[in-house]
Amino acid sequence: MRIHLTNVFVDDQAKAEAFYTGKLGFRTKADVPVGADRWLTVVSPQDPDGPQLLLEPSSHPAVKPYKQALVADGIPAASFAVDDVAAEYERLSGLGVRFAQEPTDVGPVITAVLDDTCGNLIQLMQVKADM
């Protein structure tokens, strides 16, 4: 068994696609119209046949309070691995990305948390070399 697809709920799919591709560097994998919305997935350019992230519309009534509770408690909706959190923090900050948490050493990993502009906190995580 392996992970094929996971999702983040987004307030605006076009805005999310622009952020996840233009700022974070993912590539659009699927973009299929589904009524007023789209089946819109992105993938890592380092693993284009790997797990897909569905940028899922936030239209279900349960999603808004769920997302608000996560953000209020500082809980990321997703976590992405990076080789160097500090370098990504600098690169993304230079692109205007807002961070809720600067790079922080939390034992076996270094993390930072960013705002995806679509209602989510996203964690960047670097596993330390000695792990």
pLDDT digits (tens, 9 = 90+) for 85-119: 999 999 999 999 999 999 999 999 999 999 999 99
Q: pLDDT band at 130, cuts 50/70/90? A: low
- For 5-127, CATH number out of 3.40.50.1820, 3.40.50.2300, 3.10.180.10, 2.60.120.10 equals 3.10.180.10
Domain boundaries, the chain: 5-127
Q: Quote the tokens at residue 5.
A: 């697809």
Asked if 67 contacts 10 with a C-beta cutoff of 8 angstroms, the reply is: no
pLDDT digits (tens, 9 = 90+) for 69-84: 999 999 999 999 999 9
Asked if 57 contacts 13 with a C-beta cutoff of 8 angstroms, the reply is: yes
Q: Which residues pair with 34 in a beta bridge?
A: 37
Q: Give the span between the Cα atoms of 39 and 56, in whole angstroms.
A: 7
Nearest to 99 by CA among 83, 85, 81: 85
- Strand 27-34 to strand 37-43: parallel, antiparallel, or no bridges (unpaired)? antiparallel
At residue 14, φ and ψ (nearest 5 deg) are -65, -45
At residue 61, φ and ψ (nearest 5 deg) are -60, -25
At residue 98, φ and ψ (nearest 5 deg) are -95, 135
pLDDT, position 129: 80
Q: Give the span between the Cα atoms of 56 and 109, in whole angstroms.
A: 28
